[in-house]
């Protein structure tokens, strides 16, 4: 999916919600274990319940890998079940030298045909470049993450006066374009989005951390939205594990709808202000 | 496998060689495609041919993931085929927030019971901590990598006067011990090993980049070895793809033996000097 299509979907649905399928098998409602593939069945029902309110699904590969080959089968079936007009992200945070990076790009753009994959930039340009050579595919780079550990290295002051995450964002942005690259910016750092928007005014930002991790949707939008919105705000646990029993899909739908309504409100308020 | 056992294996075999199973399916000798699982058959024969001369095998997960579930099956069978007295590394370079990191630790220490997994430190302490809670398992952190892209961020000067990779190594080392943590240090930067040994005198270093990437074994040993050797030097393509045809296993054995003899020479020279 290209940027024009993604932006159109956001405006058509009045939503920039990404639903995170961190489908931890140990948290799946017990009644689903009568199905041969409980994780897939869970995802299928979550997708049915939330697809009207979101523009993207993000599959966190860790929760599938930990189940071995069965997990990869659940991942594959889930990916193919997602409607074609919804953006798909493999949250895999890969990063390795060139010939290995090529294999990861093949994994997440061909073997499993996602629209986008998250990447760790630590190893530099040759670890990212192979992902940028695919047409209408996206590399989503870790910029400023939402976790406590972000302070360890991302916030290191560099000699040029900035912080490591700022240098990472600026340099990575020079390798691609806003049409094939996004950045992960945690919602728990929403107040930093203004400065980040000075570096990358036009890139889409994938924003985790709203909800369970304490980030604010309103602040994220206030400081992070650009003219075409330019945000995908992710919510995982708050939606998919809203209920631990048979009402899980209904509660997920309700949570997703609630977030979509908040997003629609923020979008229309901004549009009104711009007249 | 714990550190005492690893060090004992190195001295018993007079080798600190790690063979990298970057088993790219497109480079496997044609005659192996008559087997139901050509990648596994390739690995099986490579292991038979090289196990006398190495102390570790490193499985680069990218080459297996790109083949989908079939690839993970090849990986699993390969892991179980490796003799129990040889150290096993999942070269996966994972790195994510705490609850996701737990899933990755489960993947590579339980679902696939490797001794060690490589990790990217960009996201900080909570992305590493879950791996350190397993007994007799190892987190191998990216310190200074062997690729050209290392210059982009690893070499950034920080305000405290060092470089990012030095701060990464020093801080990561404080989270674990030389008994549960190693660092990846590329052989193409062998001259920097002296300074790195000032920061982490006792940790094992996993050193890629000898051979195909141009690093020198002799320099790596000269600047990087400590009292118990403290090195695992990896060679992948130079060994496993030494021959493209039916002699692949014989040529792999010959290459591994040659490296082992060089290593034995370096070890005995150092031992002689220490008397």
> Which residues of A are less than 8 Å from B234 in CB distance?
none
Map residue B239 onto helix, strand or coil. helix
> Which residues of A are less than 8 Å from B94 in CB distance?
62, 93
- Give the chain A residue nearest B26 (alpha carbons): A103
> CA-CA distance, B188 to B200, in Å (whole number)?
19
User: B262 and chain A: CB distance < 8 Å anywhere?
Assistant: no
Look at residue B88 in the predicted model and tell me its pLDDT: 98
Radius of gyration of chain A (CA): 18
> CA-CA distance, A85 to A83, in Å (whole number)?
6
Contact B149, B129 (CB under 8 A): no
Q: Which of residues 29-88 of A touch B (CB under 8 A)?
A: 60, 62-63, 65-69, 72-73, 76
Tell if the CB–CB gap between B152 and A159 is shorter than 8 Å.
no
List active site positions of A. 93
Contact B97, B62 (CB under 8 A): no
Tell if the CB–CB gap between B68 and A72 is shorter than 8 Å.
yes
Task: Kindly write down the DSSP assignment for every residue of B251-264, as one continuous string.
Answer: HHHHHHHHHHHHHH
> Which residues of B are less than 8 Å from A124 in CB distance?
147-154
Q: Using one digit for the tens of pLDDT, what is the confidence trace for A207-247? A: 998 877 778 999 999 999 999 999 999 999 999 999 999 99
Q: Using one digit for the tens of pLDDT, what is the confidence trace for A102-145? A: 999 999 999 999 999 999 999 999 999 999 999 999 999 999 99
Instruction: Select the residue of A111, A149, A156 nearest B164 (Cβ to Cβ).
Output: A156
Q: What is the pTM of this model?
A: 0.97
- CA distance, residue A171 to nearest chain B CA (Å): 8
Tell me how long chain B is.
275
Name the DSSP letter for residue B192. Answer: G
Residue ranges in chain B modelled with pLDDT below 50: none
Q: Using one digit for the tens of pLDDT, what is the confidence trace for A63-108? A: 999 999 999 999 999 999 999 999 999 999 999 999 999 999 999 9
Those residues with Cβ within 8 angstroms of residue A52's Cβ, 6 or more apart along the chain or in another chain: A13, A257
Is a pLDDT exceeding 90 seen at residue A253? yes
> CA-CA distance, B192 to B180, in Å (whole number)?
23
Q: Using one digit for the tens of pLDDT, what is the confidence trace for B16-36? A: 999 999 999 999 999 999 999
User: B26 and chain A: CB distance < 8 Å anywhere?
Assistant: no
* Residues β-bridged to residue B217: none
Tell if the CB–CB gap between A107 and B65 is shorter than 8 Å.
yes
Residue B93 designated active-site = yes
Look at residue B275 in the predicted model and tell me its pLDDT: 62
> Which residues of B are less than 8 Å from A67 in CB distance?
111
- CA distance, residue B263 to nearest chain A CA (Å): 26
Task: Kindly write down the DSSP assignment for every residue of chain A, as one continuous string.
Answer: --HHHHHHHHHHHT--EEEEE---GGGS-GGGGGSSSHHHHHHHHHHHHHTTT-SEEEEETHHHHTTTHHHHHHHHHHHHHS-TTSEEEEEEEE---HHHHHHHHHIIIIIS--SEEEE--TT-GGGTHHHHTSTT-EEEEEEE-SSTTHHHHTTPBBTTSSBHHHHHHHHHHTTS-TTTEEEEE-GGGGGGHHHHHHH-SSSEEEE--BSTT-B-HHHHHHHH-BTTB-EEEEE-HHHHTS-SSTTHHHHHHHHHHHHHHHHHHHHHHHHHHT-
């Amino acid at each position: 999916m290209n940027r024009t299509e993604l932006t159109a979907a956001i405006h058509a649905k009045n939503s920039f919600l990404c639903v995170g399928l961190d489908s931890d098998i140990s948290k799946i409602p017990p009644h689903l274990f009568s199905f041969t593939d409980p994780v897939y069945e869970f995802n299928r029902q979550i997708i049915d319940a939330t697809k009207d309110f979101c523009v993207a699904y993000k599959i966190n590969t860790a929760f599938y890998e930990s189940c071995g080959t069965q997990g990869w089968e659940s991942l594959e079936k889930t990916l193919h079940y997602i409607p074609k007009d919804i953006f798909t992200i493999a949250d895999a945070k890969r990063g390795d030298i060139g010939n290995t990076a090529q294999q990861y790009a093949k994994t997440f753009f061909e073997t499993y045909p996602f629209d986008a994959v998250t990447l760790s930039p630590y190893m530099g340009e040759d670890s990212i470049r192979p992902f940028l050579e695919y047409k209408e595919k996206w590399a989503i780079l870790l910029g400023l993450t939402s976790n406590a550990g972000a302070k360890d290295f991302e916030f290191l002051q560099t000699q040029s006066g900035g912080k490591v995450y700022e240098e990472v964002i600026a340099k990575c942005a020079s390798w691609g374009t806003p049409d094939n690259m996004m950045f992960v910016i945690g919602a728990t750092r929403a107040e930093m989005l203004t400065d980040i928007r000075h570096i990358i005014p036009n890139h889409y930002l994938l924003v985790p951390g709203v909800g369970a991790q304490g980030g604010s949707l309103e602040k994220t939008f206030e400081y992070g939205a650009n003219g075409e919105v330019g945000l995908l705000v992710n919510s995982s646990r708050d939606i998919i594990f809203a209920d631990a029993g048979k009402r899980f899909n209904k509660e997920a739908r309700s949570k997703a709808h609630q977030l979509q309504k908040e997003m629609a409100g923020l979008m229309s308020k901004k549009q009104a202000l711009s007249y």
